[in-house]
Amino acid sequence: MEPKASAEPRRLRADAARNRQRLIDAAEEVFAERGLDATLDDIAKHAGVNVATAYRHFDNKHELARAFLQHQLDRANALAREAAEAADPWTGLTQFLEQAVRLMTSSRGFVDALSNAYGAEWFSEQMHDLLTGPIRLLVTRAQEAGAVRADLDATDFALILPMLASVSERGLVAGLPEPFCRYLSVVLAGLRPDGTPLPGRAPSDAELRADMAAKADKHARARARGQAVPEKC
């Protein structure tokens, strides 16, 4: 109802804007550190404001998380678009992945969302847009240049990105110089054409959408888990 978390926020009073920003920053920090399970109280405390103030700015915890994730998604979109301008398509793709992983590295909350701890329909929709928009561009260009497997699809990154996210999540801790780069390299090497096709197939756009619905519906998820796993790849 109110233009609380709207995209086009009314001009806020100076102090309110400051507090709002503090909240978002705090959310960024706290969600990044503790994941999306962090409590609103904690975030508010971190921001130096009362919880109720958080509720003035965001309808509920969900919305704050959304604001936070929106921010991350915006960055990811920007990265993809920048990368699309690279002279060499392969360089563009690797550059994007590298930076996307770097982005994820800095935020456990984002990884949570990607890993679906946060099964919001909304987030998946955003991801879908990212995949079928800028990322598809990157992939197609790279394929035309023969730089990546022909049977790869942009939608494959719906799985590959979270996969890389999880490395990044663990990566820094080890104290290695640039840990995730190493595994990103493995994956990148695996994306290059090698004469053999990948087994299975990429999720279709429709399946990606179905996936969203399923994720939003916990029961579907439980059911899915019960499914038999094939014996052999």
Residues near a copy of itself (CB under 8 A): 32-35, 98, 102, 105-106, 108, 115-117, 156, 158-160, 162-167, 169-179, 181-192, 194, 196, 198-203, 207-208, 210-211, 214-215, 220-222, 224-225, 227, 229-230, 233
CB of 53 to DNA, least distance (A): 3
Residue 3 vs 200, nearer CB to a copy of itself: 200
Both tokens assigned to 44: 């508010």
> Segment contacting DNA (CB under 7 A): 59-67, 68-76, 136-144, 158-166?
59-67
Say if CB 27 and CB 43 are below 8 A apart. Answer: yes
- In contact, 139 and 154? CB cutoff 8 Å: yes
State the DSSP string of 85-149: T-SSHHHHHHHHHHHHHHHHHT-HHHHHHHTTSS--HHHHHHHHHHIIIIIHHHHHHHHHTT-S-
Give Dmax over CA atoms of the chain in angstroms. Answer: 61
Report how far residue 29's alpha carbon sits from residue 9's, in angstroms, rounded to the nearest whole number. 23
User: What string marks each residue from 12 to 41 as x (binds DNA by CB under 7 A) or -?
Assistant: xxxxxxxxx----------------x-xxx
- Closest distance of CB 64 from a copy of itself, Å: 20
233 is in the binding site of which of a copy of itself, DNA, none (Cβ under 5 to 8 A by kind)? a copy of itself
Site map (CB under 7 A) of DNA, residues 126-155, x = contact: ------------------------------
CA neighbor of 159 nearest in space, from 191, 118, 121, 114: 114
